[in-house]
């Protein structure tokens, strides 16, 4: 089709045309300035410019925390054996509880006392089990223990989804995806959201760190942290067939072809995320090999963390925090390791030992390096466990969503503080109850967000991590 022939009539603009076209131009100038300020435009020399989804962004108000570490005890650690002592269980051990009208997932039996000793730690005198004695001895005065958590159901899959994604049934973005969507990342050469789980995927696998309807760039990057070799930690991290300059030329050609493909498809969001992943993978080849190599740390420090999988995970976590990764989730392991329906006295001790040593060293390391106050560390599972035993022996506990414990440290939370309580036996949260939605609202608040306003429009409505729920628990904020 030929362009219209220039005529005397269309060489001149009416006053109305001039104002209309000029107004639109000034609007685009303003938009360009705004996008540039937010790091959402490529440089003038870059070819061709595209939006960088992980560019740092400002939150709604001044944050108390800049980064988050979520220590996930998947399977459900027992609160009455860790951070919520219940001496009445000693008296009722082996007997029915006076309050036994709460429905559990399976038939349960008599009260089961904790096989572990509790004692008071720090100036605050908070009681903690011997399972986490090192952590409590060094850091309890810098921690908030929430003893009144509750969720919706006593099943792993929906409870994992609720804790990680804010909804137990429908596909929703994970909290790590929401946080990187809202804040971006401080390091463009590493993913903004990393999930480490040794030995393979946990229950419901990648759904725990998915982006769902958010752009794919915000999905968590999975690392199988059982491996010690960098080539096995991150597959294909090194290019053994081409030099970096050669690879750069290949990627530049691929990008030009893909950009044309993208333009022809109205800049499809999933395709855009795919292109961004190519660039991130290239940049990671130098940065990630350094960040994940804990052999660069002194032997004494590695031994302080513990020469085991958990210690390596937390030492890597500290190195990632130093490099600006926004959200790091550290899992106990594949499956549900804390799901001790039987042999709990031995299994909880086996699991807690390396975690206690590594957490104590990790928090101490953050304090020494000036990272503690800007990093919100959160510990807990998808629910707790019952104070009564699962039949037939007094050796294990069933799932309990009615009441459980989590703790927070750093990132603007109070130190040496207990929030809420369960009943005398630890069955249900009774005072200052905190639902998972409230925890998410509080987490976003500490990062500088009004959880009602951090939204993403999809399928004709605005979505948020807390959906239509959630209240900020101001009592835990310093």
Average pLDDT taken over every residue of the chain: 87
406 against 54, higher pLDDT: 406
Query: How far from each other are the two terminal CA atoms of the chain, in whole angstroms?
Result: 67
**Model confidence pLDDT, tens digit, residues 244-297:** 777 677 777 777 777 777 777 666 666 666 666 666 666 666 666 788 899 999
- Judge whether residue 45 has pLDDT over 60: no
Per-residue confidence (pLDDT) for residue 268, from 0 to 100:
63
CA 402 from centroid of its chain's CA atoms: 23
Q: What angle do CA 367, 320, 436 make, to 5 degrees?
A: 80
Per-residue confidence (pLDDT) for residue 27, from 0 to 100:
45
Per-residue confidence (pLDDT) for residue 98, from 0 to 100:
84
Per-residue confidence (pLDDT) for residue 93, from 0 to 100:
96
**Model confidence pLDDT, tens digit, residues 141-169:** 999 999 999 999 999 999 999 999 999 99
Per-residue confidence (pLDDT) for residue 240, from 0 to 100:
62
CA-based max dimension of the chain:
101
How large a percentage of the chain has pLDDT more than 90? 69
Residue ranges covered by each domain of the chain:
67-233+298-476, 235-291
HSE (CB half, 13 Å, CA atoms) of 247?
Answer: 14
pTM of the entire predicted model: 0.83
How large a percentage of the chain has pLDDT more than 70? 81
Per-residue confidence (pLDDT) for residue 3, from 0 to 100:
47
User: Which residues, 6+ apart, have CB-to-CB distance to 446 below 8 Å?
Assistant: 63, 64, 65, 376, 411, 412, 413, 477
d(CA 166, CA 108): 29
Full 3-state SS string of 29-56: HHHHHHHHHCCCCCCCCCCCCCCCCCCC
φ, ψ of residue 454 to 5 degrees: the values are -85, 95
Strand partners, 120: 127
Per-residue confidence (pLDDT) for residue 271, from 0 to 100:
66
Which residue's structure tokens are 């990632």?
A: 320
Full 3-state SS string of the chain: CCCCCCCCHHHCCCHHHHHHHHHHHHHHHHHHHHHHHCCCCCCCCCCCCCCCCCCCCCCCCCCCCCEEEEEECCCCCCHHHCCCCCCHHHHHECCCCCCCCCCCCCCEEEECCCCCCEEEECCCCEEEEHHHHHHHHHHHHHEEEEEEEECCCCCHHHHHHHHHHCCCCCCCCCHHHHHHHHHCCCCCCCCCEEEECCCCCECCHHHHHCCCCCCHHHCCEEECCCCCCHHHHCCCCCCCCCCHHHHHHHHHHHHHHHHHHHHCCCCCHHHHHHHHHHHHHHHHHHHHHHHCCHHHCCHHHHHHHCCCHHHHHHHHHHHHHHCCCCEEEEECCCECCCCCCCCHHHHHHHHHHHHHHHHHHHHHHHHHCCCCCCEEEEEECCCEEEEEEECCCCCCEEEECCCEEEEEECCCECCCEEECEECCCCCCEEECCEEHHHHHHHHHHHCCCCCCCCCEEECCEEECCCCCCCCCCHHHEC
Check the CA dihedral 211-212-216-221 and report its sign: positive
Predicted confidence band of residue 346 (pLDDT cuts 50, 70, 90):
very high
Check the CA dihedral 245-251-254-259 and report its sign: negative
Q: 52 and 188 in contact (C-beta within 8 Å)?
A: yes
**Model confidence pLDDT, tens digit, residues 188-246:** 889 999 999 999 999 999 999 999 999 988 999 999 999 876 666 766 656 667 677 77
Per-residue confidence (pLDDT) for residue 214, from 0 to 100:
95
Strands 417-419 and 421-422: unpaired
**Model confidence pLDDT, tens digit, residues 57-116:** 999 999 999 999 999 999 999 999 999 999 999 999 999 888 667 778 888 889 999 999
Per-residue confidence (pLDDT) for residue 42, from 0 to 100:
39
Q: Within 10 A of 92 (CB to CB), how many other CB atoms are there?
A: 19
The two three-digit tokens of residue 48, written as one number: 């061709």
**Is CATH 2.60.40 the classification given to domain 67-233+298-476?**
no
């Amino acid at each position: 089709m030929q362009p219209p022939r220039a005529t005397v009539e269309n060489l001149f603009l009416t006053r109305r045309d001039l104002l209309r076209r000029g107004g639109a131009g000034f609007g685009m100038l303003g938009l360009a300035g705004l996008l540039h300020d937010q790091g959402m435009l490529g440089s003038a020399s870059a070819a061709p410019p595209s939006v960088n989804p992980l560019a740092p962004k400002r939150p709604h108000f001044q944050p108390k925390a800049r980064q988050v570490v979520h220590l996930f005890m998947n399977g459900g650690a027992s609160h009455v054996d860790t951070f919520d002592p219940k001496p009445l269980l000693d008296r009722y051990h082996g007997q029915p509880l006076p309050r036994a009208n709460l429905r559990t997932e399976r038939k349960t039996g008599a009260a089961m006392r904790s096989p572990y000793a509790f004692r008071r730690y720090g100036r605050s005198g908070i009681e903690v089990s011997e399972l986490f004695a090192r952590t409590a001895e060094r850091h309890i005065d810098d921690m908030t223990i929430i003893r009144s958590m509750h969720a919706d159901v006593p099943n792993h899959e929906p409870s994992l989804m609720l804790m990680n994604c804010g909804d137990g049934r429908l596909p929703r973005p994970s909290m790590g995806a929401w946080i990187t969507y809202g804040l971006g990342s401080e390091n463009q050469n590493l993913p903004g959201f990393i999930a480490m789980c040794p030995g393979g995927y946990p229950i419901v696998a990648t759904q725990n760190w998915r982006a769902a309807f958010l752009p794919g760039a915000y999905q968590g990057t999975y690392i199988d942290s059982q491996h010690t070799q960098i080539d096995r930690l991150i597959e294909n991290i090194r290019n053994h067939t081409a030099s970096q300059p050669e690879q750069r030329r290949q990627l530049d050609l691929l990008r030009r072809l893909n950009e044309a493909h993208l333009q022809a498809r109205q800049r499809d969001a999933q395709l855009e995320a795919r292109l961004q992943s190519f660039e991130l993978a290239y940049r990671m080849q130098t940065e990630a090999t350094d960040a994940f190599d804990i052999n660069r740390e002194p032997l004494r420090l590695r031994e302080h963390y513990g020469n085991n999988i958990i210690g390596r995970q937390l030492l890597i976590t500290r190195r990632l925090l130093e490099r600006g990764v926004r959200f790091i989730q550290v899992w106990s392991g594949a499956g549900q390791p804390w799901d001790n329906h039987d042999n709990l006295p031995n299994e909880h001790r086996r699991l807690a030992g390396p975690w206690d040593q590594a957490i104590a060293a990790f928090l101490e390391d953050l304090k020494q390096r000036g990272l503690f106050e800007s990093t919100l560390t959160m510990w807990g599972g998808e629910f707790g466990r019952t104070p009564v035993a699962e039949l037939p022996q007094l050796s294990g506990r069933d799932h309990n969503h009615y009441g459980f414990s989590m703790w927070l440290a750093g990132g603007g939370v109070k130190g040496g503080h207990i929030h809420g309580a369960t009943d005398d036996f630890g069955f249900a949260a009774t005072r200052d109850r905190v639902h998972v939605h409230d925890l998410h609202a509080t987490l976003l608040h500490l990062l500088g967000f009004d959880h009602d306003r951090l939204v993403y429009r999809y399928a004709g409505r605005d979505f948020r991590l807390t959906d239509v729920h959630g209240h900020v628990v101001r009592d835990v904020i310093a």
